[in-house]
Amino acid sequence: MVPGGLYFLTMTVVDWVDVFTRPVYKHIIVEALRFCQEHKGLKLYAWCLMSNHLHLIASTAEEHKSLSDILRDFKGYTSRKIVACIQEEPESRRQWLLHRFEFNAHLNPKVRHYKVWQDGNEAKELISNAFMDQKLNYIHENPVRAEIVEEPEYYRYSSAANYAGFQGLLEIEFMD
Protein backbone atom coordinates (compact mmCIF):
# COMPACT_ATOMS: atom_id res chain seq x y z
CA MET A 1 0.00 0.00 0.00
CA VAL A 2 1.16 3.51 -0.81
CA PRO A 3 1.76 5.60 2.36
CA GLY A 4 -0.99 8.19 2.70
CA GLY A 5 -3.09 6.53 -0.03
CA LEU A 6 -6.86 6.17 0.19
CA TYR A 7 -8.02 2.54 0.02
CA PHE A 8 -11.16 0.47 -0.34
CA LEU A 9 -10.62 -2.55 1.90
CA THR A 10 -12.47 -5.77 2.55
CA MET A 11 -11.68 -7.99 5.52
CA THR A 12 -13.44 -11.34 5.43
CA VAL A 13 -13.99 -13.96 8.13
CA VAL A 14 -12.48 -17.38 7.37
CA ASP A 15 -14.86 -19.70 5.52
CA TRP A 16 -17.25 -16.74 5.29
CA VAL A 17 -18.52 -17.67 8.76
CA ASP A 18 -21.44 -15.43 9.81
CA VAL A 19 -19.95 -14.43 13.14
CA PHE A 20 -21.27 -10.85 13.17
CA THR A 21 -24.89 -11.83 13.69
CA ARG A 22 -24.84 -10.99 17.40
CA PRO A 23 -24.42 -7.43 18.73
CA VAL A 24 -21.65 -8.42 21.16
CA TYR A 25 -19.32 -9.33 18.26
CA LYS A 26 -20.32 -6.25 16.25
CA HIS A 27 -19.49 -4.04 19.23
CA ILE A 28 -15.96 -5.49 19.34
CA ILE A 29 -15.42 -4.31 15.76
CA VAL A 30 -16.88 -0.84 16.36
CA GLU A 31 -14.81 -0.29 19.52
CA ALA A 32 -11.63 -1.53 17.82
CA LEU A 33 -12.18 0.79 14.85
CA ARG A 34 -12.72 3.70 17.26
CA PHE A 35 -9.52 2.82 19.11
CA CYS A 36 -7.57 2.70 15.82
CA GLN A 37 -8.96 6.12 14.92
CA GLU A 38 -8.10 7.67 18.29
CA HIS A 39 -4.74 6.01 18.97
CA LYS A 40 -3.27 4.53 15.79
CA GLY A 41 -3.91 7.18 13.14
CA LEU A 42 -6.66 5.42 11.19
CA LYS A 43 -8.64 7.85 9.03
CA LEU A 44 -12.03 6.31 8.32
CA TYR A 45 -14.07 7.67 5.40
CA ALA A 46 -16.67 4.91 5.16
CA TRP A 47 -17.39 1.53 6.68
CA CYS A 48 -19.95 -1.26 6.74
CA LEU A 49 -19.92 -4.40 8.87
CA MET A 50 -21.87 -7.30 7.40
CA SER A 51 -22.39 -10.77 8.90
CA ASN A 52 -19.06 -12.14 7.64
CA HIS A 53 -17.01 -9.23 6.31
CA LEU A 54 -16.06 -5.62 6.89
CA HIS A 55 -15.67 -2.94 4.23
CA LEU A 56 -13.68 0.21 4.86
CA ILE A 57 -12.56 3.23 2.94
CA ALA A 58 -9.55 4.35 4.92
CA SER A 59 -6.12 5.93 5.00
CA THR A 60 -3.67 6.94 7.71
CA ALA A 61 -3.55 10.28 9.47
CA GLU A 62 0.21 10.50 9.01
CA GLU A 63 2.14 9.40 5.95
CA HIS A 64 4.80 7.62 8.02
CA LYS A 65 2.18 5.34 9.59
CA SER A 66 1.43 2.11 7.75
CA LEU A 67 -2.20 1.26 7.03
CA SER A 68 -1.12 -2.37 6.70
CA ASP A 69 0.28 -2.30 10.24
CA ILE A 70 -2.88 -0.71 11.64
CA LEU A 71 -5.06 -3.35 9.94
CA ARG A 72 -2.78 -6.19 11.08
CA ASP A 73 -3.09 -4.99 14.69
CA PHE A 74 -6.86 -4.49 14.30
CA LYS A 75 -7.33 -8.02 12.98
CA GLY A 76 -5.13 -9.56 15.67
CA TYR A 77 -6.88 -7.72 18.48
CA THR A 78 -10.42 -8.38 17.20
CA SER A 79 -9.61 -12.05 16.62
CA ARG A 80 -8.53 -12.50 20.23
CA LYS A 81 -11.53 -10.56 21.56
CA ILE A 82 -14.06 -12.43 19.39
CA VAL A 83 -12.67 -15.84 20.38
CA ALA A 84 -12.66 -14.88 24.08
CA CYS A 85 -16.22 -13.63 23.78
CA ILE A 86 -17.34 -16.85 22.07
CA GLN A 87 -15.74 -18.83 24.92
CA GLU A 88 -17.22 -16.68 27.71
CA GLU A 89 -20.64 -15.51 26.53
CA PRO A 90 -23.73 -17.67 25.92
CA GLU A 91 -23.26 -18.88 22.35
CA SER A 92 -25.29 -21.71 20.82
CA ARG A 93 -22.72 -22.02 18.01
CA ARG A 94 -19.67 -22.04 20.32
CA GLN A 95 -18.31 -25.47 19.41
CA TRP A 96 -18.84 -24.99 15.67
CA LEU A 97 -17.38 -21.45 15.58
CA LEU A 98 -14.29 -22.40 17.58
CA HIS A 99 -13.80 -25.50 15.42
CA ARG A 100 -13.89 -23.40 12.22
CA PHE A 101 -11.41 -20.87 13.64
CA GLU A 102 -9.15 -23.61 15.05
CA PHE A 103 -9.22 -25.58 11.78
CA ASN A 104 -8.17 -22.49 9.81
CA ALA A 105 -5.36 -21.78 12.30
CA HIS A 106 -3.86 -25.21 11.61
CA LEU A 107 -3.64 -24.32 7.91
CA ASN A 108 -1.23 -21.47 8.69
CA PRO A 109 2.00 -22.18 10.62
CA LYS A 110 2.14 -18.52 11.78
CA VAL A 111 -1.17 -18.83 13.68
CA ARG A 112 -1.18 -20.62 17.02
CA HIS A 113 -4.74 -21.29 18.15
CA TYR A 114 -7.55 -19.58 16.23
CA LYS A 115 -7.76 -17.74 12.93
CA VAL A 116 -10.83 -15.50 12.55
CA TRP A 117 -9.88 -13.35 9.54
CA GLN A 118 -8.75 -14.44 6.10
CA ASP A 119 -5.29 -13.26 5.07
CA GLY A 120 -5.14 -9.98 3.20
CA ASN A 121 -7.40 -6.96 3.03
CA GLU A 122 -8.35 -6.88 -0.67
CA ALA A 123 -6.91 -3.35 -0.81
CA LYS A 124 -7.79 -1.26 -3.85
CA GLU A 125 -6.36 2.24 -4.07
CA LEU A 126 -8.99 4.88 -4.85
CA ILE A 127 -7.36 7.04 -7.50
CA SER A 128 -10.34 8.70 -9.17
CA ASN A 129 -13.50 10.42 -7.95
CA ALA A 130 -15.64 8.04 -10.00
CA PHE A 131 -14.01 4.99 -8.37
CA MET A 132 -14.42 6.59 -4.90
CA ASP A 133 -18.12 7.27 -5.52
CA GLN A 134 -18.64 3.73 -6.82
CA LYS A 135 -17.02 2.14 -3.75
CA LEU A 136 -18.79 4.47 -1.31
CA ASN A 137 -22.13 3.57 -2.87
CA TYR A 138 -21.22 -0.14 -2.93
CA ILE A 139 -20.36 -0.12 0.80
CA HIS A 140 -23.54 1.68 1.85
CA GLU A 141 -25.84 -0.35 -0.41
CA ASN A 142 -24.51 -3.66 0.93
CA PRO A 143 -27.17 -4.04 3.68
CA VAL A 144 -29.89 -2.98 1.22
CA ARG A 145 -28.79 -5.66 -1.27
CA ALA A 146 -28.81 -8.17 1.63
CA GLU A 147 -32.40 -7.08 2.42
CA ILE A 148 -31.50 -6.09 5.97
CA VAL A 149 -32.79 -2.53 5.57
CA GLU A 150 -34.81 -0.57 3.00
CA GLU A 151 -32.49 2.46 3.03
CA PRO A 152 -28.73 2.48 3.72
CA GLU A 153 -28.89 5.13 6.47
CA TYR A 154 -31.06 2.80 8.61
CA TYR A 155 -28.29 0.22 8.94
CA ARG A 156 -26.65 0.78 12.32
CA TYR A 157 -23.23 -0.77 11.55
CA SER A 158 -22.29 1.51 8.67
CA SER A 159 -21.31 5.08 7.89
CA ALA A 160 -24.38 5.59 5.69
CA ALA A 161 -26.13 7.46 8.53
CA ASN A 162 -23.20 9.91 8.71
CA TYR A 163 -23.49 10.63 4.99
CA ALA A 164 -27.26 11.13 5.37
CA GLY A 165 -26.68 13.81 8.02
CA PHE A 166 -27.34 11.65 11.09
CA GLN A 167 -25.05 10.60 13.95
CA GLY A 168 -23.37 7.29 13.18
CA LEU A 169 -21.65 4.91 15.58
CA LEU A 170 -18.23 6.17 14.49
CA GLU A 171 -16.92 9.56 13.49
CA ILE A 172 -15.80 9.66 9.87
CA GLU A 173 -13.94 11.91 7.48
CA PHE A 174 -16.24 12.92 4.64
CA MET A 175 -15.06 12.30 1.10
CA ASP A 176 -15.40 15.43 -1.03
The answer to whether the CB of 118 falls within 8 A of the CB of 54 is no
Which pLDDT band holds residue 61 (cuts at 50, 70, 90)?
A: confident
Burial of 95 (0-12, 13-18, 19+ CB in 10 A): exposed
Domain spanning 7-163 has what CATH number? 3.30.70.1290
pLDDT in tens, 84-142: 999 998 899 999 999 999 998 988 777 778 999 999 898 999 999 999 999 999 999 99
Global pTM reads 0.93
Write out the E strands in the chain. 7-12, 42-49, 53-60, 124-125
Give per-residue pLDDT as tens, 142-159: 999 999 999 999 999 999
Domain ranges, ordered by start, for the chain: 7-163
